[in-house]
Amino acid sequence: MPKYVNNVLKKFNHNPTKFPQYSPNHYNPIVYGKEGQQQFAPSQVTEPNLPKDNIRYVQSMVESFLYYARAIDCTMLPALNKISKSQANPTQVTLDEHKQLLDYANTYQNVSVRYRASAMIRNIETDAAYLVLPKAKRRLAGYYYMGHNRQAQATRAVNGAILVECKTIDHVVASAAEAETAGLFHNTQHTIPIRRNLIALGHPQPPTPIKTDNSTAHGFTYEQKISKSWDMRYYWLRDRQNQQQLDIFWEKGTDNNSDYFTEHDTTLHHRDIRSTYVHDKPGECNVVVSKRKNLSSEFVNAVTSFLRVR
């Protein structure tokens, strides 16, 4: 979407506070206490709400970037999800998160999604995070892409996403396993109409491969064990599995591409993983390097060449 980010930045008269900004959201490092020490949730923000003009400002930003994030730069979705939860009553913290996301968008303005030829088989990778949002909320994520069957896809690179889900789980879940099952349920429900559309377009679909990194959620689909307290609608997963519309399987979390969208990570992780989901044009490196002051032209050219190769 050429010039879209630049136009949005002009719309908000945004002056970058940090350049380059490689992280779309603030990262709170995990603090590990002594053995057996209880972990406490972060204190609720007690700052006063922003004036009405600032509320409309934040809401307009979320509205402007949400479609762009779902269609092009999906790495913005976790930050947008967090900001949207407080956009009705934003505080200064919300405004700071908003400015950081705009700095991130300013750093990466030339973004595209790269699609590779495939067997046109719908693949989904699903994940969920437990207690990662204020008020003990949970977040689910799903990475949808066109690929190959389960066996062939295991040896191939992941394709560009045709849809990325990054949403808060509305209902209360009592465990991490139940949160994972909720994410699995949400993503499989979304895939059924798309699966039917692909068949109608002439792309026969085997049972849709759906990857989860939670063994309990995977096992629940095949055999019920101590799960009566879980919502009965999750039995829908087993029903669709019996109809051979789904092929739910387990794989370790390091190979799950939806894991990125459930939590907030370090800047280093954002930089390392970004190329998995989006493609940044080489010319963008010139913008980042040329903004630095007191650098010789030879040094700038050398760094630019290195960034392009990397």
Say if 34 falls within a structural domain.
no
Separation between Cα atoms, residue 181 and residue 184, nearest integer Å: 5
pTM higher than 0.85 = no
Q: Is the peptide bond before 2 cis (omega within 30 degrees of 0)?
A: no
Domain of residue 82, residue span: 4-28+39-112
* 157-171, 235-249, 265-279, 291-305: range with lowest mean pLDDT: 291-305
Indicate whether 12 and 80 sit together in one domain.
yes
pLDDT > 70? residue 286: no
Residue where one domain finishes, among candidates 112, 144, 170: 112
Say if 191 falls within a structural domain.
yes
Residue where one domain finishes, among candidates 259, 276, 302: 259
DSSP string, 233-288: GGHHHHHHHHTTSEEEEE--GGG-TTGGGTS---HHHHHHHHHHH-EE-THHHHHH
Q: Which residue, chain included where needed, has tokens 């190329």?
A: 275
Q: How many domains does the chain have?
A: 2
Say if 253 falls within a structural domain.
yes
Close Cβ partners of 232 (under 8 Å, ≥ 6 residues apart): none
| Pair 93, 295: CB distance under 8 Å | no
pLDDT > 60? residue 301: no
pLDDT in tens, 84-96: 888 888 888 888 9
Say if 223 falls within a structural domain.
yes
| Pair 184, 124: CB distance under 8 Å | no
Helix (H) or strand (E) holding 231: none
Confidence of residue 289 (pLDDT cuts 50, 70, 90): very low
pLDDT in tens, 114-146: 999 999 999 999 999 888 777 778 899 999 999
Separation between Cα atoms, residue 212 and residue 249, nearest integer Å: 6
